[in-house]
Structure formats: C-alpha cells, structure tokens
A and B are shown apart, each in its own frame.
Chain A
C-alpha cells in the first residue's frame, strides 16, 4: 500500500447526502476479477446520461473542479460492502474523502486502500463546500501526522484510529500484522 503522510490539493464538491456504494460503482461493473479499471466507472450513472452523453452538471465533469480530494455530503459510502467503491475512487485519483459522516464498512475499505476518510463537523463541511464552490482553486491541506485539515481561514482536527494512522503513514496493511500474531491465534484455536 502507498504511504500517506501529507497532501495539498484542490477538491471536488459533491453536496449530495447518503451517497451509497451502488452510486459510487454500479453493480454491473463488479464482474472483474482484479482491482484495475474501476476508476473509469466511478459514479458512472451520475457522470453519464443513459444515452452515454456526459452529464455536464455533475461536479466531477465540471472543468472548474479538480484535485485528489472529494468533499461529500453526510453519510457517505452507505449500503453495499463492495470494496470496488474504494478501488473506483482511488482509481479515479482520489486520495482523501471529506464528509460529516461515513458508513462503517466503506470507511474500513477506504483505509485498507490508502484512501483517507476524514470526518469533519457539519459546520466545517458546509463552509468548506461553500468555499470550494466560490473558489474552485481553493487549496486544502491534509496533515495526517497532526490530524488536521485546513484551508485559508478554516482548520479542524480529525480523529483516526492510532493503529490505522501508523499503517497509512508507513504503507502497512493488516495482513502482515495478523500473520505476525499467528502464535496467539493458534493458541486461541487450541482452547476451543
């Protein structure tokens, strides 16, 4: 997994609440047996009309917006456990998702793929969305070491599990850690 320490980027605003993983990557694109190419179909049915033409009004399609941060409405990533949603967002180039609330499974899936979900307050989120819409060139700074997200005139601290923070900063994943616990796991199994 790629290391994540610090990031400065512009962001794409997606105000919609309750964005479910079926929207992030529709089920018909889940037939692959590898993790590649999902980025092409991220938000497929919101980015494109049924006839295949581009939906110009969708934020990802607006040329004024860009960057590797997605700022989204409350309860992002609810619904299906498909990790393909995290692969699709990462594949598209997002490294950070900011929302006022994340669904559990999505949050774990994102962290397991080096995508940092940052939960901020409702007030901070609203202000950030407004500021990005007013000035799409607004740069946002993410400092994982100090657990802070900031932009001109705005800053908030965010929470992250201490273990997961170490994993992201060093590019470790859980498999290595669990395998290192093999003796304890075997001992536990022996008691059952």
Chain B
C-alpha cells in the first residue's frame, strides 16, 4: 500500500517508538511567542535543564503587542512584562528573536513562511493552535501546549500518538468572489467543528492545486477549527517557487537537491486514508458565520438554519440572531481585516481592489492589521495604503490584534464585527463582542456599505 504525504513526513521524523504508547517525533523548527513560552522557560530553569537546540527556535512578539505607536514603551504593564520576559529568555538561551519594531517582526504564522523558515517535508510546532498554517507547504505543523513547548526546549522532540489520516478533496471551478477563506469555512460548516479531531487532514483536488501559497495557508490555518491537529497540501511548483530565494531557504545546488526530495512527498496514488470527503467547488459560495463556533457558517445568500438544540439556541441568543433569518442588511459597526488567517499581501490586494474609489460607511470602524512588517511595507509600496486611507480605513501596525483582543484592539460589548480572523467564540474579540467570520472581500464590502451585503450581486 502506498503512503500518504503525512505518513512520509511523519515516518522520516520518528526517533523511537514506545510499545503500546506514543512515538518520539523529532521537531525541525520550533516557533515561540511571548504568551505560551514563559512558563516553559521557567520549567526548564527550575529543573536545571538547558535548551537543547536554540538554533532550531525562532521567536517573535505578536499576541500581546499594541498595533499603534510600537516605537513607544508598551503601556500595559503585564503585557510589557511578558514581552521583556521573552527578550530576556531569548538572550539567555541564544534564541533568535524578532521583537517589536524589528523588520522581520509579525504574526508567527506570517513571518516564518515569509522568511523561508517554513519548508516542505518539515516538522514544525508552536504554542499556538494555528500552527497548522504551515501545512500549506507539505509540512507537518501543529499547535502544542506549554508543557510540550518545554519538552521541545529540553529534547527537540515530542511524545505523540500518530494521528489518523483524513483527506478532503475539492474539485471543480470556484465561482467569482469565492476565496480560499470561503472554501475552508464551507468545509468546516459541512463537516463540523470536531470532524477532524484525532486526524491530520490533507486537502487535495484541483482547487488547492490552483491556489496560491497564501490561499493554501488560509485553508490550512483553519484546520484546527474542525478539530484537526493540522492540515497539509502537497508541495508542487507553486510551493517551490514561493520558497525559492527567501532569506532562510536553501540556496543554489542545495535548493535543487531539496526540491528533488520534496517532489517525492506527495501522497501515492494507492494510499488509503482512514476518512475521506469530496466536495464540489461549484457548491461553495461566499461564506459568513452566524454563531459562536466556526462551524456555524452559511453562504451569504442563505438563511440561518432552524435547529432545536440547546447549545445552538444559546449561541444564537449570544449573537442576537433569530432562527431562519438572513444576515443580509444587518448593520455592522466594526470590520477587522487581519490575523494569521487573512493578513497577507493578497488579502489586502483583494480588499483594496474592492475599496478603490469608494468610501467606508460613516458608522463603520475599519481596522486593517498587516500580518508582518514586510506585509506593511508592501501595502505601502504597492499604493494600497493610499487607497485604504482615502476610503477612511485605519491601517495599524502588525500583530494578532483584534483576532483575540489581548491588547487594546477590542470590539465593544454587544457590537458585531465582520472579521477575517478564525474564531467567532463568545467574547473572542472582547467581552460581549459578536464576531462574524468572512473573507477579506466580504469584510471590505461590509465596511463600505455599513451592513452585510450580498457580495455575489456586486461582483457579477
């Protein structure tokens, strides 16, 4: 029997197998940030254990950082302390840190691909569930808890049970205005938020083959929202072209050698998955969520389903929506374009193309938060900043920002926010805030109209 992409990468990283127990998996790249690392550093220090391979760790400050006036000292004392801890811990352990203001700083899942740290066939971990993003490169990448961060610090390995395999095939032609975000929101809405638990998911089919690397990252990013530890897409010419020439990618003959190895990674034709689903691209439309988990999504043209279920009703009560109603024409006062799901240059190009020559509605606060310093520079260099500013949008500095609202970027109590982020949990964007997940195109259109509109009418 043939092997899957996941099997090939996993098997190449197994150091040891414990009888009736987990496997010892070697980790090629460990990404860390200020929120989930301090307790791991403390753990090692209290036990007198050194960091095993500091050269395989890259650190950034992103979760807890302000998106305005980053040149000034961070006002929130607890946040500042957390950032200082990261700086101290990295200096002490000789770990590369791209701190606030550094030209390579940004959201961990935006900077690692951008700098060429993320490469096909690797194992990558980070104390952040959206580490699944890097699977877009044919990489086994997944989020871990802080105890596991400490384990990787101590040994460069993790003890894990090998997950089962799942494949989601999407074939056909996507309609105009249907973006990678819509594809993944549609998949999660159909399969459910725990359909992937215990699995690693491969996305296959012409829709993903034709997608850009940035689109593939958006898709893999949200694998965790259906419970899957990670998602993967087979590396191909699009992948190699993206990696080529990036700062920390192999160069010259070394790169060619790597490409030859990467070409052997895709799933064999006769490989069998534990679970498999197929979706027609034609069935997917621009999506929007109406509830408090990412599986509660509908096509923007559809009505909220009518289910008899206590958790479903609790969710609608929180959102102040009714069963059976449409979201079209709902007034929206906040729009957020950002997060590790949708804060790359293509996302801002899509938003800018729609916004160009228009003005945002007076009632709307439109926040744009680039995923990295590099994306921020590109927004300016391509003239997008001027378009956004003319339309009345606020372009802020890079970070996780209103995706999880750890900093000051909070949506007020009771307000709706159409957001390109990944989670619409209760209070995710601020206490009492109501999040509606959507693509950058739907978010941009909402900002212009000040209400949710049927984007399919505007683009056809």
Contact = CB atoms under 8 A, between A and B. Distances in A.
Interface of A: 15-18, 20, 22-23, 26-28, 30-35, 45, 50, 73-75, 78-84, 86, 101-105, 108-109, 112-113, 161-163, 173-175, 177-179, 181-182, 184-185, 188-189
A73 B158 CA distance: 29
B431 A17 contact: no
Contacts of B428: 22, 27
Given A83-B36, A181-B16, A173 B24 contact: no
Nearest to A106: B145
B405 A28 contact: yes
B148 A82 contact: no
A164 to B, nearest CB: 8
A75 B426 contact: no
A63 B238 CA distance: 60
Interface residues of B, number: 65
Given A20-B425, A105-B129, A31 B82 contact: yes
Contacts of B197: 75, 101-104
Given A33-B85, A34-B39, A189-B26, A79 B425 contact: yes
A30 B18 CA distance: 34
A189 B293 CA distance: 41
A179 B24 CA distance: 11
A174 B198 CA distance: 20
Contact of B20 (A23, A113, A162): A162
Contact of B24 (A22, A80, A184): A184
B9 to A, nearest CB: 13
Contacts of B193: 18, 75, 78
14 contacts: A16-B310, A20-B425, A28-B405, A30-B406, A31-B79, A33-B42, A45-B431, A80-B423, A83-B147, A104-B229, A105-B229, A112-B145, A175-B151, A189-B156
A161 B161 contact: yes
A163 B20 contact: yes
A33 B81 contact: yes
Interface of B: 15-16, 18, 20-22, 24, 26, 35-36, 38-39, 42-43, 47, 49, 63-64, 76, 78-79, 81-82, 85, 127-129, 143-148, 150-151, 154-159, 161, 163, 193-194, 197-198, 224, 227, 229, 293, 310-311, 314, 404-406, 413, 423, 425-428, 431-432
A184 to B, nearest CB: 5
A31 B64 contact: yes
A15 B310 contact: yes
B268 to A, nearest CB: 23
B22 A163 contact: yes
Contacts of A30: 35, 63-64, 406
Contact of A81 (B145, B155, B311): B145
A185 B229 contact: no
B413 A161 contact: no
B15 A185 contact: yes
B129 A81 contact: yes
B156 A185 contact: yes
Q: Which 3 A-B pairs have the closest CB atoms?
A: A163-B21, A112-B147, A31-B78
A17 B154 CA distance: 36
Contact of A179 (B49, B148, B413): B49
A108 B148 contact: yes
A149 to B, nearest CB: 21
Nearest to B404: A27
A27 B293 CA distance: 16
Contacts of B144: 81, 105, 108
Given A32-B78, A163-B159, 6 more contacts: A22-B404, A81-B145, A174-B148, A174-B159, A184-B15, A188-B15
B155 A105 contact: no
B157 A18 contact: no
Given A35-B39, A161-B21, A188-B26, A81 B425 contact: no
Contact of B227 (A78, A108, A162): A78
B154 A33 contact: no
B89 to A, nearest CB: 10
A184 B143 CA distance: 25
Given A80-B129, A163-B20, A86 B426 contact: no
Nearest to B38: A33
A75 B194 contact: yes
A1 B156 CA distance: 21
Contacts of A184: 15-16, 24
Contacts of A112: 145, 147-148
Contacts of A175: 43, 47, 49, 150-151, 154-155
B146 A83 contact: yes
A131 B425 CA distance: 30
A73 B315 CA distance: 14
Contacts of B293: 18, 20, 78
